[in-house]
Amino acid sequence: MKRFFILMILLASAVSLFATGEQEAASTELKATDKLVVYSPNSDGLLKATIPAFEKMYNVKVEVISAGTGELFKRIQGEAGSPYADVVFGGAYATFQTNKDLFQPYTSVNNDKLIDIYRNDTGYITSNVLDGSLLLINKNLIGDIQIKGYKDLLNPALKGKIVSANPTASSSAYAHLTNMLAAIGKGNYESQEAWDFVKALFANTVVIDSSSAVWKGVRDGEYAVGLSYEDPAVQLIRDGAPVKVVYMEEGVVYLPAGSAIVKGAPNLVNARRFIDHITSPEIQNVYGTAVTNRPVMANVATPSYMVNINDIKLIKEDMDYVQKNKVALQNKFKDIYTDIKK
């Protein structure tokens, strides 16, 4: 019996020590610091709309290391186990999807305020801004031709007056390709109807190498219509260029930029605060009015030169499928375009 009581005392002590250890670990984990390290490929405009407000709110010094998404992810891979960064702020969503092991779970306290199809359903990727495909129209060249969506681009009068970058080389052009496949194929990227439409459209379209040359060509009057994306198109409208934008009536795909907390982040409390910060109504309103990136929160302010997202027909892209099958989809387009040019 004496041995039994000794054993019970030892067991109780072990449990107590374990609980104390857990509390100490939790306390250490939740201890706020006065620093945050952010790796970001974002533009200066987006950083200026985000970082100073965070520093002021939490009395934190933020170190921003700016570089391309690929370079930053390689750096994080090299630092695995002893990370320098706390957060990656921005970059293609698909890149986060294929590098899950570099990040740790966190869901923003504002997640349920975001547009439902862009909420964090991965447990670790948070979206904060969106960029969508659209049609950029030169108002001086389009005449009385009515364009409301993709199907209007099959008009024979537009042959040679439509421009697109190459979906096998340009990410924005590939986004347009998958957008039209999802819209025409009603979510089926292998739909024969959708691929027949792609063939008909690109028989009407001039394909060039650069996505920036698309919007510049429409702006400068070389083409009447461009398959472009929202950020530069809205900047043209804001700056008074003779253009307008059309959000395809068949449906528009917006691709979110990703952000996530690095696994083992040294400044975890501030990393979590930062994810909450970029999804807060206050900062989302800043994005909606001060930069040309589209906020990921629905009910935020929208400048006069930007259509409110509630007035756009949104369709959800199967980002996992589109990423995994990118080469196959690009090769199929290449075969179709080669056949067109024979």
Structure tokens at 108: 């923003």
336 alpha-carbon distance from chain centroid? 28
Residue at 22 is within a domain: no
Residues 146, 71: one domain? no
Residues 259, 126: one domain? yes
Over residues 6-30, mean pLDDT = 39
- Number of H-type helices and E-type strands within the chain: 13, 11
Sign of CA dihedral 48, 50, 55, 61: negative
Over residues 178-185, mean pLDDT = 97
Residue at 64 is within a domain: yes
Which pLDDT value is given to residue 13?
38
Phi/psi at 151 (nearest 5 deg)?
Answer: -65, -25
Residue at 102 is within a domain: yes
38-48 as b/e, with b when 16 or more CB fall inside 10 Å?
bbbbbeeebbe
Per-residue pLDDT at 104 exceeds 80: yes
Which pLDDT value is given to residue 51?
97
CA distances from 76 to 183, 276, 328 (A): 36, 22, 29
Residues 216, 331: one domain? yes
Residues 235, 292: one domain? no
Which pLDDT value is given to residue 202?
97
What are the pLDDT digits (tens) for 281-325?
999 999 988 887 889 997 887 888 888 888 999 998 998 899 899
Residue at 79 is within a domain: yes
What are the pLDDT digits (tens) for 213-252?
999 999 999 999 999 999 889 989 989 999 999 999 999 9
Phi/psi at 143 (nearest 5 deg)?
Answer: 65, -135
Which pLDDT value is given to residue 94?
84
Asked whether 141 and 226 are in contact (CB, 8 A), the reply is no
* Residue appearing with tokens 């939490």: 58
Asked whether 258 and 166 are in contact (CB, 8 A), the reply is no
Asked whether 274 and 57 are in contact (CB, 8 A), the reply is no
Q: What angle do CA 168, 244, 157 make, to 5 degrees?
A: 70
Residue at 7 is within a domain: no
Residues 328, 237: one domain? yes
Over residues 102-114, mean pLDDT = 97
SS3 content of the chain, % helix, strand, coil (to 5): 45, 20, 35
Residues 188, 267: one domain? no
Which pLDDT value is given to residue 113?
94
Which pLDDT value is given to residue 122?
95
- Neighbouring-strand partners of residue 139: none
Over residues 62-86, mean pLDDT = 94
Residues 225, 137: one domain? yes
Per-residue pLDDT at 26 exceeds 80: no
Residues 228, 288: one domain? no
CA distances from 177 to 73, 225, 257 (A): 26, 16, 19
β-strand 162-165 against 225-229: which pairing, if any?
parallel
Residues 83, 173: one domain? no
CA distances from 230 to 90, 133, 195 (A): 17, 6, 24
Residue at 2 is within a domain: no
Say which residue, 130 or 19, is predicted with more confidence: 130
Residue at 12 is within a domain: no
Contacts of 73 (CB under 8 A, 6+ apart): 88, 91, 95, 99, 102
Per-residue pLDDT at 61 exceeds 70: yes
CA distances from 323 to 92, 93, 110, 254, 301 (A): 11, 10, 27, 15, 32
The CA distance from 42 to 175, in Å, is 19
Residues 204, 216: one domain? yes
Residue at 30 is within a domain: no
Domain housing 195: 132-253+314-340
Per-residue pLDDT at 7 exceeds 70: no
Provide the domain count of the chain: 2
Residues 76, 168: one domain? no
Question: Nearest Cα to 225, choosing from 146, 328, 317?
Answer: 146
CA distances from 215 to 40, 41, 53, 138, 233 (A): 25, 22, 33, 10, 7
Say which residue, 123 or 316, is predicted with more confidence: 123
Residues 142, 186: one domain? yes
Per-residue pLDDT at 4 exceeds 80: no
Chain mean pLDDT for the chain: 89
> Residue 272 is part of a domain; what is its CATH number?
3.40.190.10
Q: Which amino acid is at 175?
A: A
What are the pLDDT digits (tens) for 130-161?
989 999 999 999 999 999 999 999 999 999 99
